[in-house]
Structure 1
Amino acid sequence: MLRTVNRVLTGLAGLALTAVGGAVLAAGAGLSVPSWWPWTDTGDVLLSRARRERWHDHGWWWPTVIAALAVLVLLTLWWLLAQLRRARLAEVLVDSGDGEGALLRGRALETVLADEAEALPGVARARATLHGRRTTPAARVALLLEPHAAPADALSRLTAESLAHARDSAGLAALPAEVRMRAVKHRAHRVT
């Protein structure tokens, strides 16, 4: 939900900035602009001569303004690229043996990997996500361990069973994984 709202607001901000930029270009080119627009003539400027020269005696002012605007542009571009980047792998290329290959949905492999990891003894809950390239995916697995579970045993069974099955079923040479483990925390109960 939050991701959708973020993208809608990004789109609306982009449309508004495009409209304002287009209106500034239209006024600068001498085309007709709305009567309420503050710059209607080709000779109009954003900053008057008095405002530009207000800080003329301070040699640090304009380099600071330009540096701050450059940092703002770089941060905005970084944020925009972060919005376009996918957090999950949509599909995995599976070698079918006939030279063609097949596409496996990333969510399907994630679900199977998480379900098989949850079936391991000592694991209360598991979550898996795939990232990387579709020919060389990598997994991130989060395990919620029961209080009696041994983390080393859970990790060795996860790599020997769940990750090995996922790697073999997708026909991958390797399936590197980052595994994060936490223990279940139980609250104290009042006995009456």
Structure 2
Amino acid sequence: MLKAVNRVLLGLLGLGLFALGGGVLLGGLDLQRHWGFDVPGWWPFRGPEDVVLGTWGRVRWRAEDWWWPAVIAVLVVLLALLLWWLLAQLHRHRLGQVLIESEGDAAARLNGRALEDAIEEEAQVLDGISQAHVRLTGRRAAPAARVRLLLKPHAEPVRTLEQLSGETLAHARDSAGLDRLPSEVRLREVRHRSRRVA
């Protein structure tokens, strides 16, 4: 649902900006005169001498006390909404459910957070792992895992990665009945502050 709304909003916004930019370009380059066609009477940009906001539009509400605070408030709200929308696009959403394949027409759904917790708990038992954080992304029928591991100082990254892939992620894949579970693993080492010994 959210993807459909985003696509519709992006399409409408793009279409509006394209029309506005085309209108300004049409008037600014005086294309209607060069190409021999006329624009409608309501068209705001008729030639290179026209401006986006004329003198009458700029000074019309200048004497009103409410005008500039209202303009600034609307622009601030619009900017906040656009920033929120941008951050929503950049944020990778957590997968809420995983579709488990089963025989016949029946299909089951597994809570994505429960699978994340199970992977985290099993990963933290592995030797050399201090902390694990798992997030499922992708689609319900084809999930992917993003795993962040905090390694203990004595940990061997290659061995830890092999254990995680061969045991923990394999168990998660098998228990959810998935054909595959692509995973991106990020490793970080615990850093201790140095202390002065007197």
Give TM class, smaller chain: 0.5 to 0.7
Q: CA deviation at 1:129?
A: 0.3
What is the TM-score with the length of structure 1 in the denominator?
A: 0.58
> Deviation digits for residues 104-131 of structure 1, max 9, x if unmatched?
0000000000111111101011000000
Match of 1:121 in 2: 127
Is 1:107 matched with 2:139?
A: no
Q: How far apart are the structure 1 equivalents of 2:54 and 2:191?
A: 66
Partner of 2:134, secondary structure, is: strand
User: C-alpha root-mean-square deviation of aligned residues, in Å?
Assistant: 2.9
What is the aligned partner in structure 2 of residue 83 from structure 1? 88
Name the residue aligned to 1:14.
Answer: none
Question: 1:154/1:49 Cα in 2 relative to 1: closer, same or farther (>3 Å)?
Answer: closer
In structure 1, the gaps of 5 or more residues are 1-46, 55-72
Q: Deviations over 1:154-178 (max 9, x none)?
A: 1111000011000000011100000
Mapping of residues 15-164 of structure 1, within 5 Å: 50-51=55-56, 79-80=84-85, 82-83=87-88, 87-164=93-170
Distance across 1 between alignment mates of 2:129 and 2:58: 68
* Whole-angstrom CA distance in 2 between matches of 1:127 and 1:100: 32
Aligned mates of 1:48, 1:125 — CA distance in 2: 58
Which whole-Å CA distance do the structure 1 matches of 2:176 and 2:57 have between them? 64
Give per-residue Cα distances to partners, 1:23-64, cap 9 Å, x unaligned. Answer: xxxxxxxxxxxxxxxxxxxxxxxx98524599xxxxxxxxxx
Q: Secondary structure at the match of 2:186?
A: strand
Q: By how many angstroms is 1:83 displaced?
A: 2.9
Q: Counterpart of 1:175 in 2: which secondary structure?
A: coil
Q: Distance in 2 between matches of 1:48 and 1:157?
A: 65
Deviation at 1:188, TM superposition (A): 1.3
Q: Distance in 2 between matches of 1:86 and 1:182?
A: 21
Q: TM-score with structure 2 length normalisation? A: 0.57
Gaps of 5+ in 2: 1-51, 60-77
Aligned-pair distance for 1:77? Answer: 5.8
Alpha-carbon deviations, 1:75-134, whole Å to 9, x = none? 966852653776100000012334311110000000000111111101011000000000
Go from structure 1 to structure 2 and tell me whether the alpha carbon gap of 1:48 and 1:187 turns closer, same or farther (over 3 Å shift): closer
Classify the secondary structure of the residue corresponding to 1:144: strand
Could you tell me how far apart the structure 1 residues matched to 2:170 and 2:111 are? 18
Instruction: Give the AA of the match of 2:133.
Output: R
Aligned length: 128
Q: Deviating runs (4+, > 6 A) in structure 1? A: none
